[in-house]
Amino acid sequence: MRMPSMKYQSGETVMGRWPGSSLYYEVKVLGFDPKKQLYTVIYKDGTELELKEQDIKHPAGFRQRSRSRSPGRRRSRSRSPARTTRRSSSRTAAAVAAAAITESVPSSRRDSRLKEVVEVRVSPLQPEKPVEVNSNNKHEENDTANKVNEKVEEEPEKNQSRYNLRRRRDDGDAKEAEARQQQEEKEAKFEAASAAPPTTPLDFGGKIGAIFWLLFLPAWVFFLLSQVNLKDPSLANFPPPLPPLETFWDTQAAGVVIFWILFQALLYVLPVGKLSEGMPLRSGERLKYRTNGFFAIAVSSVAVVAAMYQGIDLTYIHSHFLQLAVATLLISFMLSVYLYVRSRYAPPDQLALGGSSGNVVYDFFKGHELNPRIKNFDLKFFCEMRPGLIGWCVINFAMALAEMKQQGLEAPSHAMILVNLFQLLYVVDGLWNEEAILTTMDLMHDGFGFMLAFGDLVWVPFTYTLQAYYLVSHPNPLGPPALIAIITIKLLGFYIFRKSNSQKNTFRRNPSDPSLANLKTIPTATGKNLLAGGWWSVVRHPNYLGDLIMALAWSLPCGFSHLLPWYYMIYFIILLVHRDSRDMSECRRKYGSAWDEYCQTVRYRIIPGIY
């Protein structure tokens, strides 16, 4: 067996890289752990760290730069997210290093010890790949400055996971330093709160568009619901036959919806399951989310089966679908009003860049506050993942029971089973990998307003179930070849969808994950890289490609007699094409020429060779 070699000897003075930066400082080697392959080194200000061999260099390989800087330099007030001063990439690195050490060195000691530290700023003779600085427009400047702050907050944590940061002599000052740090954080928050929020260009047709969507989306849901029960449903059937007005409201149905939402809220707050960290916010903060979605769907399934055995007739959902939808629409509207009102009191650093236009209707629609929370209860995360998604599966199941009842079947039809299983797999997968939603557009960028509240609570459960609803009264027998073909399409789509989403999620959470070691990446001025290898080199949105293939497999079991069950497929193409273009301009704004480079490397958006 090969013994691990020790390149640097105890007592030797070498140059050690400050973790997360490209800055090297004079350090003394204290020891070497052959098991962990880490050197324990001590910096001149007394900080002890464990470094990898590649982060240590012989002093002979360095030249000294004119300006000196200490790793223990005090963090300035410029860390406030509200500041938008432009900085060069070398300033960024310095800020990162300065902040990193600031986090680990108690400030009182630090200040007094600064004088003793020999202040050198050195750079390796082999320069690292330069980081691009893009500043195409005002928004980007703001964003880049924010990202600098983000990085400042992020690094120490990253460092600590990779390196063992140990203070040797300053433990006595810990409390004082903590108090000082808290004071600094308070100051930074105050500065952020008193600054105006930056905004991004309006989308969805701007202010007029927002009014249109507010009226059109609910109307469209009711149009679809009015069609699906007809013997000969048609998307061109206009105006639809309107049911009497009094049939729209049913208090019992409203009670069912409220009970369901409260039940899901209870499961969400139970201290079961993992607490996951979201992506860093503009303020540098990282929110924690209880990702127990799989637990929630498992308990919900048991509850639904138990309810059936207690004699509750789930076909009630089919027979009162319209009333359930109306009640849910009302709840989503009231929730949106609450969200907008509370967002008026939220500090600017907690507002969504895309929903801060100043126009009441647009911001109400698009979502003004990014992560509205009641204590630790995250309203956006909860609505995105729980009542609507799990409700979708329960509705599908109820439609299968209604089909058996209506068609006099012993078991649901093959088409109904496929639709139920495919969509159940989609939801269960989403809840099993619930953490992955934390790196999606909805969670990271979109504010929580009518668009998402309505989408999560009404649109998903009441329109994504249209295929199952349609099959209740429109049977479509499927032979074995059709079954095999449809299942193959579904599995292919699922494979692409899952792999690509997981790859990006892993990359965003830990860019140095070993599974990504050989993948090409493109550096950006923000410090975040872009993945240009693996699935993300096939098209710019491989996850959308997989999702669309799955959507095809959901519609195929319903046959080709009517367009209505294909509605999801058509809508989804429009949604993802629009979403892709929204994301493209957002990424262009964030990453500037690095994004252009990515687009040149990966030519197609969603479908290879076509689009």
Nearer of residues 398 and 496 to ligand NDP, judged by Cβ: 496
Q: Which is nearer to ligand NDP, 211 or 279 (CB)?
A: 279
Nearer Cβ to ligand NDP (45/155): 155
- Is the Cβ of residue 152 or residue 385 nearer to ligand NDP in the bound state? 385
Rounded Cα–Cα distance for residues 507 and 500 (Å): 11
| 501 near ligand NDP, judged by CB under 6 A | yes
Residue 573 corresponds to which amino acid?
Answer: I
**Least distance CB 451 / ligand NDP (angstroms):** 12
Closer CB to ligand NDP, residue 71 or residue 546?
Answer: 546
Closest to ligand NDP by CB, 117 vs 531, is: 531
**Closest to 286 in 3D by CA, of 275, 294, 297:** 275
Residue 351 CB, nearest distance to ligand NDP (Å)? 17
The one-letter amino acid at 318: H
Other beta carbons less than 10 A from residue 235's beta carbon: 14
First-to-last alpha carbon distance for the chain, in angstroms, is 54
Q: List binders of ligand NDP among 407-466 (CB under 6 A).
A: 439-442, 444
Q: What is the sign, positive or negative, of the torsion defined by CA atoms of 477, 479, 481, 483?
A: positive
Which of the residues 317 through 346 are near ligand NDP (CB under 6 A)? none
Tell me: does residue 289 bind ligand NDP (CB under 6 A): no
Minimum CB separation from ligand NDP for residue 411, in Å?
28
Q: Which pair of structure tokens corresponds to residue 424? A: 């159940």
Binding segment (CB under 6 A) for ligand NDP, from list 144-152, 166-174, 402-410, 504-512: 504-512
The residue (of 204 and 316) whose beta carbon lies closer to ligand NDP is 204
Q: Which is nearer to ligand NDP, 51 or 221 (CB)?
A: 221
In the bound state with ligand NDP, the residue whose beta carbon lies nearer, of 43 and 459, is 459
Residue of 546, 515, 550 whose CA lies nearest to 533: 515
Identified binder of ligand NDP from the candidate list 75, 504, 562, 605, rule CB under 6 A: 504
Is residue 508 part of the contact set for ligand NDP (CB under 6 A)? yes
Name the residue nearer to ligand NDP (CB basis): 106 or 430.
430
Report, in Å, the least distance between residue 408 CB and ligand NDP. Answer: 33
Burial category of 183 from C-beta neighbours within 10 Å (exposed 0-12, middle 13-18, buried 19 and up): exposed
- Residue closer to ligand NDP by CB (options 37, 136) is 136
* Of residues 524-563, those binding ligand NDP (CB under 6 A): 528, 530-531, 536, 541, 543-544, 547
Query: Read out DSSP for 253-291?
Result: HHHHHHHHHHHHHHHHHSS-SEEEE----TTS---EEEE
222 interacts with ligand NDP by CB under 6 A = no
CB of 121 to ligand NDP, least distance (A): 31
Q: Which of 89, 194, 69 is nearest to 147 (CA)?
A: 89
Phi, psi of 378 (to 5 degrees): -85, 110
User: What is the SS3 assignment for 63-118?
Assistant: EECCCCCCCCCCCCHHHCCCCCCCCCHHHHHHHHHHHHHHHHCCHHHHHHHCCCCC
- What lies within 8 Å, CB to CB, of 527 at 6+ separation is 92, 131, 147, 148, 150, 151
Q: Which residue has the tokens 């990702």?
A: 291
Interface with ligand NDP by CB under 6 A: which range of 359-367, 370-378, 466-474, 523-531?
523-531
Which H helix or E strand runs over 226?
helix 206-228
Give the x/- contact pattern for ligand NDP in 55-74, rule: CB under 6 A.
--------------------
Number of residues that bind ligand NDP (CB under 6 A): 23
C-beta of 287: minimal distance to ligand NDP in Å? 16
Span 342-381, contacts to ligand NDP by CB under 6 A? none
Nearest distance, CB of residue 520 and ligand NDP, angstroms? 10
User: In this complex, which beta carbon is closest to ligand NDP, that of residue 281 or of residue 331?
Assistant: 281
* Residue 11 backbone class (left: φ over 0; alpha: ψ -120 to 50; beta: rest): left
Provide the angle, in degrees to the nearest 10, between the axes of the packed helices 251-269 and 387-407.
130
- Minimum distance from residue 500 beta carbon to ligand NDP (Å): 7
Beta carbon of residue 78, minimum distance to ligand NDP (angstroms, whole number): 23
CB 340 within 8 A of CB 366: no
Task: Scan residues 572-601 and list those touching ligand NDP (CB under 6 A).
Answer: 579, 583, 586-587, 598
Q: Which H or E element spans position 62? A: strand 62-64
Least distance (Å) between residue 587 CB and ligand NDP = 5
Angle at the Cα of 481 (from 477 to 487), degrees rounded to 5? 85
Provide, rounded to whole angstroms, the least separation between the CB of residue 552 and ligand NDP: 13
**Using CB under 6 A, which of 470, 497, 554, 566 touches ligand NDP?**
497
Residue 238: Cβ-neighbour burial (10 angstroms; 0-12, 13-18, 19+)? exposed
- Please work out, in degrees rounded to the nearest 5, the angle formed at the alpha carbon of residue 28 by the alpha carbons of 25 and 31: 130
For ligand NDP, the closer CB: 210 or 539? 539
- Interface with ligand NDP by CB under 6 A: which residues? 439-442, 444, 497, 501, 504, 507-508, 528, 530-531, 536, 541, 543-544, 547, 579, 583, 586-587, 598
